[in-house]
Amino acid sequence: MVENFDEWFHDILEQADITDSRYPIKGMAVWRPYGFQIRKHSMNIIKNLLDKDHDEVLFPMLVPETELAKEGIHVKGFEDEVYWVTKGGQRELNEQLALRPTSETAIYPMYSLWIRTHIDLPIKMYQIVNTFRYETKHTRPLIRVREITTFKEAHTAHATKEESDEQVQDFIAMYKEFFDDLGLAYLISKRPEWDKFPGADYTMAFDVIMPNGKTLQIGTIHNLGQTFAKTFDITFEDKDGEHKLVYQTCAGVSDRVIASVIGMHGDDKGLRLPPKVSPNQVTIIPILFKKGKEEVLAKCAEIKEQLEAKGLRVNLDDRDIRPGKKFNDWELKGTPIKLELGPRDLENNITIAMRRDEEEKIELALDDDLADNVIKLLNKSSENLSNQSWTFQDEHVKFTDNIDEIAQLVEAGNVVSFRWCGDEAIGKEIEEKTGYDILGIQEEISEGKCIASDNDAQYMALIAKTY
Amino acid sequence: MVENFDEWFHDILEQADITDSRYPIKGMAVWRPYGFQIRKHSMNIIKNLLDKDHDEVLFPMLVPETELAKEGIHVKGFEDEVYWVTKGGQRELNEQLALRPTSETAIYPMYSLWIRTHIDLPIKMYQIVNTFRYETKHTRPLIRVREITTFKEAHTAHATKEESDEQVQDFIAMYKEFFDDLGLAYLISKRPEWDKFPGADYTMAFDVIMPNGKTLQIGTIHNLGQTFAKTFDITFEDKDGEHKLVYQTCAGVSDRVIASVIGMHGDDKGLRLPPKVSPNQVTIIPILFKKGKEEVLAKCAEIKEQLEAKGLRVNLDDRDIRPGKKFNDWELKGTPIKLELGPRDLENNITIAMRRDEEEKIELALDDDLADNVIKLLNKSSENLSNQSWTFQDEHVKFTDNIDEIAQLVEAGNVVSFRWCGDEAIGKEIEEKTGYDILGIQEEISEGKCIASDNDAQYMALIAKTY
């Protein structure tokens, strides 16, 4: 595993052309071409999942102060972090406008107009947009930023509480599928009361454990109950002609998903990208000598075509530089499979395949089965990355019954699970005493004592050093 | 053609679920699901064209005032229209930040870092982002807005002026292909000096004539020369080790493309969408009676599958409402082809196809050729929409040699072409006298006199009432 993770993470973003942080505003970075492709393929996965039963929409980026302020609990959670537009041209605006920190207060006034009767329900929409937080803490590209360039937010409204609870479960299932495709291991927990989304009834969260043991929240799902429905007057006429408030949920993932892909899979040589989101799934590297150069290049082009015909993203690196440099470049950039082809390989009618996730070199015959064999290797690579992530996570979640052991376990790079009575005061005491954050509760339990009181334990909970 | 176009346009956006202008900030609207799909399919066409030789990237939305102000001519063109962020949380920011009105000043400081030698050139990038203009004029959804939700901007840098001129031609060819796919007719002209992009050497523009005779600028291509290269110090080392400034171009299209698709093709019954961007290319409408209901629905589902297997976007409208309502809905929403299937059709093994662009009903056999026959109809529909647009444009560009005739021709819904000497003072005199805008010059000519002076004519130019 990477020694100094934060430094490694910072460097790899620049070296592998993911983002460029030299943009002249702190906490705002540029997505470079290679990084943009990873982002695009990642977003395509979640879009495809959402498109099954959600409508994609796009709301304005600015929110009037009056709307943002309507939901009191909500605005309190964001007011210190909101960027305000106060001027248009040389003129002061009559009302200041917020750069959306999230879009509840932009979307729900429209829901109030769109939802009339039970026939309009459920309503399920999503958008992928940029959002803004005036971070005063130390910023980190993709992890803690001032412009979240990629915020996928879904917003649903339902006729009953039951349906909204089911929707939360649906989102959990959807996010599992999404993160599974990225080969990420994750912890799912219900956030404690004091850490739920401002305005929500309850918040479910996905966290990953980064190589340095810190957890990163990469997905959240909120059951909003009727809080916003009351504030924004979102009602419907049910079958009996009665007017009722809707029940709502929302769910978000952000740039942090890409941070996790980079952080969890990377190694000392650079990125190791999951095939589903790698800009190039295969990079072909010709080994060229004066003799037979044309033949080798022609064969490489033929292989590229053969693989692309099966839907693979293939890069033929025919740059006029030494092959060794090419190997290093694509190792750094994490292409899942490199295919090497020189004159002797051509004679033997083979190519040497190298998986990025393993050191192994594999000879593949240059025949009609080549694409299928490459796809098999890609699948193995996906599985292996996923297995390694889950193994890492399993090894880094440690149970203790002794509150004094928590610090030592966390400092050694672990997330700690413990028994908790669920009492808020006790929970905060645990956080204060250890200096770490309770991520949330993983499951209800019926035996054992609370780690910090004489109460019976109600929950298995997680505590960690968080980003 | 539509009688009162502006009113029609406003209404159709709401009725056909394109956008919703009730959002509580004037000039900022919500993309509703149906509209979003049209936008998505439209953007996919231009993305595919750009992806051939451009890299997609994403730059921050905020631009520091110092950067925006660096290019004097440029900032002068935008300063009255810039929204400014001045506060983060409760705190005044040290430097105010602009919501990008366009991204030259965000992108070019990075080009200065990225471009080192001739090997780095040409650089060709694009992004699709939201941009902002504090419009003080009357706003209109998709046409004159304060948040341009969809701004595709491409930015290139080259070693020579010749290459940058070629790039302009490449963009013209690309935009032609894009607008052709949308069935739009267009006028291409070189904007007069006083109407070029702030900072550009010259600006090429695409305009469409809307049904009311007003022109709408839907695409622009700017040769920036070395203006920004000087300002942002974008240099490269050429083969001889000499340091030189790059030559740049940029090119943009926006939400207005969607406005044109809606405006140019629509009729009194609603939208007529080009198949390439219609959310549903085919809508199947079952005609249901108690008897044979199941069989008809099963056959409809089968047809849907059959068409989807050929890559078509198909909607089976099985809502529990009368077929007449469905016909009206999809007429309004502009689905290119409706397929009607009732019990008698099923007996006769046929379906009735209706093209939205023509009144005609066509019997299609329910056999293996159905999908191919539907595709033929879609192609005819595309062609017909395009032909109608070009015919309309041809009929509405009128030449005159008499400056006093211009007003009458323009008020009758035409764009007027005229001979011009190219002199700026004369040009502005023509604009002032007529009250209309010179779009630009279409071609150089070598005979005739200028419409407003004794000078020999140099150009065939266009004048119009513009949006």
CA distance A148 to A151: 6
* Domains contained in chain B, CATH given: 5-265 (3.30.930.10), 282-377 (3.40.50.800), 397-464 (3.30.110.30)
CA distance B460 to B398: 12
A69 to chain B, any CB pair closer than 8 A? The answer is: no
Q: Report phi then psi at B450, rounded to 5.
A: -65, 145
- A72 is written with which tokens? 């009191």
Strands (E), B57-90: 62-64, 83-88
Using DSSP's 3-state secondary structure scheme, residue B16 falls into coil
**Mean pLDDT over each residue of chain A, to the nearest integer:** 96
In chain A, what residues touch B20 (CB-CB under 8 Å)? 110, 113
pLDDT per residue over B152-181, tens digit each? 999 999 999 999 999 999 999 999 999 999
What is the ipTM score, two decimals?
Answer: 0.96
A76–chain B nearest CA distance, Å:
11
- Asked if B84 lies within 8 A of A86 by C-beta distance, the reply is yes
CA distance A145 to A216: 13
**Which one, of A41, A32, A46, lies nearest residue A141 by Cα?**
A32
B86 to chain A, any CB pair closer than 8 A? The answer is: yes
In chain B, what residues touch A106 (CB-CB under 8 Å)? 23
B121–chain A nearest CA distance, Å:
15
Single-letter amino acid code for the residue at A358: E
> Pairing mode, if any, of strands A397-399 and A361-365?
unpaired
**Which one, of B443, B439, B464, B424, lies nearest residue B193 by Cα?**
B424
Segments of chain A with pLDDT less than 70: 1-3
CA distance B348 to B364: 10
Angle between helices A370-395 and A256-265 (to 10 degrees): 90
CA distance B225 to B199: 9
Work out how many CB contacts closer than 8 A connect A with B. Answer: 146
CA distance A463 to A441: 9
In chain A, what residues touch B22 (CB-CB under 8 Å)? 110, 113
Angle between helices A256-265 and A33-51 (to 10 degrees): 110
Q: Which residues of A341-361 are buried (b: 16+ CB within 10 A; e: fewer)?
A: bbbebbeeebbbbbbbbeeee
> Pairing mode, if any, of strands A337-341 and A282-286?
parallel
CA distance A195 to A437: 9
CA distance A381 to A385: 6
Single-letter amino acid code for the residue at B362: I
Using DSSP's 3-state secondary structure scheme, residue B424 falls into helix
CA A329 vs CA A317, A325, A411, B258, B441: distances in Å: 10, 6, 34, 41, 49
Asked if A300 and A284 count as a contact pair (C-beta separation under 8 A), the reply is yes
- B158 is written with which tokens? 């080259």
The single residue listed with the structure tokens 């290679």 is A34
**Which one, of A143, A112, A388, A124, lies nearest residue A233 by Cα?**
A112
Of residues A24, A89, A130, nearest to B80 (C-beta): A89
CA A316 to chain CA mean position, Å: 30
Region B217-238: mean pLDDT is: 97
CA A132 vs CA A82, A126, A135: distances in Å: 7, 18, 9
For residue B173, give every residue at least 6 positions away whose Cβ sits within 8 Å of its Cβ, in sequence order, or none. Answer: none
pLDDT per residue over A252-267, tens digit each? 999 999 999 999 999 9
3-state SS string for chain A: CCCCHHHHHHHHHHHCCCEECCCCCCCCCEECHHHHHHHHHHHHHHHHHHHCCCEECECCCEEEHHHHHHCHHHHHHHHHHCEEEEEECCEEEEEEEEECCCCHHHHHHHHHHHCCEHHHCCEEEEEEEEEECCCCCCCECCCECCEEEEEEEEEEEECCHHHHHHHHHHHHHHHHHHHHHCCCCCEEEECCHHHCCCCCCEEEEEEEECCCCCEEEEEEEEEEECHHHHHHCCEEECCCCCEEECEEEEEEEECHHHHHHHHHHCECCECCCCCCCCCCCEEEEECCCCCCHHHHHHHHHHHHHHHHCCCCCEEECCCCCCHHHHHHHHHHHCCCEEEEECHHHHHHCEEEEEECCCCCEEEEECCCCHHHHHHHHHHHHHHHHHHHHHHHHHHCEEECCCHHHHHHHHHCCCEEEEEECCCHHHHHHHHHHHCCEEEEEEEECCCCECCCCCCECCEEEEEECEC
CA distance A435 to A439: 13
B249 to chain A, any CB pair closer than 8 A? The answer is: no
CA distance B402 to A163: 71
Residue A198's CB: how many other CB atoms inside 10 A?
18
Residue B347 DSSP symbol: H
Stretch 322-351 of chain B: residues touching chain A, C-beta under 8 Å: none
Region B340-349: mean pLDDT is: 96
Q: Which pLDDT score, from 0 to 100, does residue B2 have?
A: 55
A87 to chain B, any CB pair closer than 8 A? The answer is: yes
Q: In what order do the strands lie in the sheet with A459-464?
A: A55-56, A123-132, A147-158, A247-254, A215-225, A202-209, A187-190, A437-444, A459-464, A415-420, A397-399
For residue A6, give every residue at least 6 positions away whose Cβ sits within 8 Å of its Cβ, in sequence order, or none. Answer: A140, A212
Of residues A28, A57, A87, nearest to B32 (C-beta): A57
- Residue B49 binned pLDDT confidence (cut-offs 50, 70, 90): very high
pLDDT per residue over A16-35, tens digit each? 999 999 999 999 999 999 99
What percentage of chain B carries pLDDT values higher than 90?
96
What percentage of chain A carries pLDDT values higher than 90?
96
CA A116 vs CA A237, B11, B14, B21: distances in Å: 6, 20, 16, 18
A417–chain B nearest CA distance, Å:
36
Single-letter amino acid code for the residue at B65: E
In chain B, what residues touch A60 (CB-CB under 8 Å)? 23, 25, 28-30, 147, 149
Nearest chain A residue to B108 by CA: give it.
A23
